[in-house]
Structure 1
Amino acid sequence: MKKRTLAHLALSLAAILALPLAHAQAPAFPSKPVSIVVPYAPGGPVDNLARMLATRLGKEWGQSVLVVNKTGANEIIGAEFVAKSPADGYTLFAATEAALTMNPHLYKKLPYNPEKDFTPISRLISVPMVFFVPKASKANTLKEFIELAKNAKGTPLTYGSSGAGGIVHLPLAMFAKQEGL
């Protein structure tokens, strides 16, 4: 064998033998508790989903997964907390589209950059929006509801929302504007 070939073979063998050592030195993820930040109060749909996910991930990973509620300001408080956390994968953000897609259009200045401060991992759920009225309502169709709302003199119709600028508020505000309600 030529010296050059022997040297290449020796270096290759050394590199192959060093791989398990290098792999053994890298700690497995997660090596410490993971936090899932929820920008809503405990007990709501996002919080409940995050708690189920935390339980499952904790079992899978053999590590604690904590749910941390950072509520308010249309998810801005939670988003800011996550954006300022170390980018090491130990702080996750369970949010709706408000923090990353709606807030940049609603607020002049955010304490985080939706494009630079976050990396999407997965869509957890998809929720269709459904329009309901009380069973006793005179409206049985959307067209009937619009007429009822337009003719509601002195007593405007109301709806429930999780807050100004959120996923429930904006579509209904757009609907009301489009229909002249």
Structure 2
Amino acid sequence: MKELRAWLMLVLALLPALAFGQASYPNRPIRMVVPFAPGGASDFVARILSPKLSELLGQQIVVDNRPGASGNIGMELAAKAPADGYTIYLGNIGTIAINPAIFPNLTLNPTKDFIPISLVADVPSILVANPSVPANSVAEFVALAKSKPGELNFGSPGSSTLNRLEMEHFMKLANLKIVHIPYKGGAGPAVIGLLGGETQVMFVTLSSAISFIQAGKLKALGISTAKRIDALPQVPTMAEAGYPEMVSSSWQGVFVPAGTPRPIVEKLHAALLATLDTPEIKQRFAGGGVNVVTSKTPEDFISFVGAETTRWGKVAKESGATID
């Protein structure tokens, strides 16, 4: 009885300190883990988001790029961090919804090891080619690939990325045989490979390719949106090209390690929504081909993640995609 009384007194003594700790959050810098190298959509979103989010939270958000293993290295690092709100994770459709279906030995379960906070961005995909490729439309590229089965190759930011699955799905629909060349570190290295002629074609997030398209360094063949976009009005949609099944996009969202206290989750959610509602952020995102999207509540994002994991797990299985 004495031991129980002593334990209860200790708990009661600690409660004010715990409450104060959460109420004063954050009182030091916060690390935002980005599981890809600079140059891709995730890094683009993080670099634009972090200054305004820092301003609203009153503490610096430090972007920490941790690329490797199709995003698994950064994801595992974030999942194992203390659940105190000082490590947040910028996950995307690939790391959260696709990796579990591609990597049989993944040591974590994203839907259990993270608490989703909110969606923050939605990035369309675009089919681009090196200027040396003798094709200026989806139809011309399909004809070229069919005339050279197994001779062309396509790059991707990694084996388990949405861009890889998009190409696998496209090849299945068009009955094409194109060799996959995966790159490590995200879209940046893959785009560099395409620019240098190491690969001929790839699906890539619009934010990673739009400046090269506008400069004439890459050819845009088709975009994955439901309708043409204002930034590239001359580029037809994949649906216009005869592939309505190819409407897709890469979402980005903020997560924290499982076990993070609810008050911290709610504070981060409110700060993210306020950040994303500013005209400056909307304008800068739009300039890079990124759409602002948010989750009304963390629970809405949880439901979204569950549905996306089911959807893309099925696509990965049907495509036969494996780790290269």
Q: Provide the TM-score with structure 1 as the length reference.
A: 0.77
Match of 1:125 among 121, 128, 141: 121
* Larger relative contact order (Cα-Cα within 8 Å, sequence gap ≥ 6): 2
Partner Cα separation in structure 2 for residue 119 and residue 25 of structure 1: 22
Q: Which residue of 1 aligns with 2:67?
A: 71
Q: Distance in 1 between matches of 2:155 and 2:103?
A: 22
Contact kept, 8 Å, 2:50 with 2:63, in 1: the verdict is: yes
Q: Of 163, 166, 179, which aligns to 1:168?
A: 163
Looking at secondary structure, tell me which structure has more strand per residue: 2
Task: Assess if the C-alpha contact under 8 Å between 2:33 and 2:64 holds in 1.
Answer: yes
Cα–Cα, structure 1 residues 25 and 127, in superposed 2: closer, same or farther, change >3 Å? closer
Higher gyration radius (CA): 1
In 1, the alpha carbon distance for the partners of 2:47 and 2:133 equals 36
- Give the corresponding residue for 1:99: 95
Provide the residue aligned with 1:13 in structure 2: none
The size of the alignment, in residue pairs, is: 160
Q: CA RMSD in A?
A: 2.5
Pair 1:152 & 2:148 matched = yes
Residue in 2 that maps onto 1:90: 86
1 CA distance for matches of 2:136 and 2:64?
Answer: 41
Q: 1:177 aligns with which of 172, 179, 184?
A: 172
Amino acid at match of 1:165: S
| Alignment partners' CA distance in 2, 1:25 and 1:77 | 33
Per-residue CA deviation, residues 3-55 of structure 1 (Å, 9 max, x unaligned), is: xxxxxxxxxxxxxxxxxx99x94542212211100001134331232122221
Q: How far apart, CA to CA, are the structure 2 residues paired with 1:71 and 1:96?
A: 13
Aligned partner of 2:109 in structure 1 is 113
Structure 1 unaligned residues grouped into runs of 5+: 1-20
1:141 is the counterpart of 2:142: no
Aligned to 2:190: none
Which residue of 2 is the match for residue 3 of structure 1? none
CA 1:122 to 1:152, structure 2 compared with 1: closer, same or farther past 3 Å? same
| Counterpart position of 2:51 | 55
Report percent identity of matched pairs. 38
Aligned-pair CA distance for 1:163: 1.8
Shift of 1:91: 1.0
Cα 1:73–1:25, aligned 2, differ >3 Å: closer, same or farther? closer
SS of the aligned residue for 1:66 comes to strand
**Matching residue's letter, 1:175:** F
Distance verdict in 2 for CA 1:134–1:113, change over 3 Å:
closer
Change (3 A) 1:63 1:111: same
One of 33, 36, 41 as aligned partner of 1:37: 33
Are the structure 2 counterparts of residues 68 and 133 from structure 1 closer, same or farther at C-alpha, using a change threshold of 3 Å?
closer
Q: Give the alignment's TM-score, normalised by structure 2.
A: 0.45
Instruction: Give the CA deviation at 1:104.
Output: 1.0
- Amino acid of the structure 1 residue aligned with 2:49: L
